[in-house]
Amino acid sequence: MKRLMMSLTAGATALGLSQAMAADDVTLQLKWVTQAQFAGYYVAADKGFYEEEDLNVEIKPGGPDIAPVQVLAGGGADVMVDWMPSALAAREKGVPVVNIAQPFARSGLTMVCRKETGIEKPGDFKGKTLGTWFFGNEYPLYSWLSKLGLPRDGSENGVTVQKIGFNVDPLLQKQADCITAMTYNEYWQIIDAGLTTDDLVVFSYTEQGVDTLEDGLYVLEDKLDDPEFVDKMTRFVKASMKGWQWARDNPDEAAMIVLDNDATGAQTEKHQKRMMGEIAKLLGDDATLDGAAYKRTVETLLQGGSDPVITKEPEGAFTHMITEKAM
């Protein structure tokens, strides 16, 4: 009997090791640094949702000098979080990225200006300096400026587009008249720095009719020909959305999980909890890409006369295959 028990124990141990070894590795490249913008993924890892799907997920933070598309194309990640303008522009330039899921259903992008500049409406951007992030983040602004008929040539009849980094200093130090800001992040950094709502004029990209989809999940197109990869991504999306649902239901706890994963120590509890609350407003009911929102994004990017972000209607730029299996 003792020998049998030892045999069973050894067998169970071997089975456990086999299952652990069988976990599929997935590398996720984030669009930005570790913050509540990506809480669903950190929650899924922390709560064991990925483990339940036999996944071993590595989450790679982004930053001001990291382009997710380049990381994905270079083989540094299996899946990336990116904005659709960046992804569609990259696809037209030859990097075959495909949207497999869209956790964020709404845009949080704004343009924040100092009221003292005299800017009251978008037409007042003429002759001003507008700060924005690059690596694909500039495309929504470019589409908007094209719609307004404002060239990016630095002239009195155009605008100067200034590349900004991981802070709101250009606005605070008056190096830029306006800067792009997310409702869940940079806007509150400006407020926390001492400016008040009375000091600012805020333009919502959504209200201006130039909003585009943000924070979707993308993979390389040829990977979708591999059934094993499709199965892996299906499990990844399923577990990620479970993480996002948990984060939406438990925003404060989710923010603390994000803080636990912030190796830089740059984030604060107050800011992350507030960010998670704002992020929850942007999430969809599931990760399925909405056709109308996709079409609106494409139409916005095609605008611009001689200088559009994309020049033709994309083909094969998204698939519902993964979300249909996962959801």
What Cα–Cα distance (Å) separates residue 38 from each residue in 68, 112, 215, 243?
14, 23, 9, 10
Give the rounded percent of residues in the chain with a pLDDT score beyond 70: 93
Report d(CA 250, CA 41) in Å as an integer.
14
Those residues with Cβ within 8 angstroms of residue 295's Cβ, 6 or more apart along the chain or in another chain:
none
Single-letter amino acid, residue 174: K
pTM given for the model: 0.88
C-alpha 245/C-alpha 314 separation (Å) is 31
pLDDT band at residue 165 using 50, 70 and 90 as cut-offs: confident
CB 276 within 8 A of CB 36: yes
Give me the pLDDT at residue 294, please: 97
Q: pLDDT tens digits for 61-81?
A: 998 889 999 999 999 999 999
Torsion angle of alpha carbons 279, 283, 287, 291, nearest 10°? -130
Cα–Cα distances in Å, from 166 out to 36, 185, 217?
A: 16, 11, 23
| pLDDT per residue as tens digits for the range 238-296 | 999 999 999 999 999 999 999 999 999 889 999 999 999 999 999 998 999 999 999 99
Section 1-30 average pLDDT: 61
Q: Kindly list the structural domains of the chain, giving each domain's residue range(s) and its CATH number in brackets, ordered by start.
A: 2-106+213-326 (3.40.190.10), 109-204 (3.40.190.10)
11 vs 324, residue with greater confidence:
324
- pLDDT confidence of 225, banded at 50, 70, 90? very high
Is the pLDDT higher at 157 or at 308? 157
pLDDT tens across 189-221, in order? 999 999 999 999 999 999 999 999 999 999 999
Handedness of CA 279, 285, 289, 291 (dihedral sign): negative
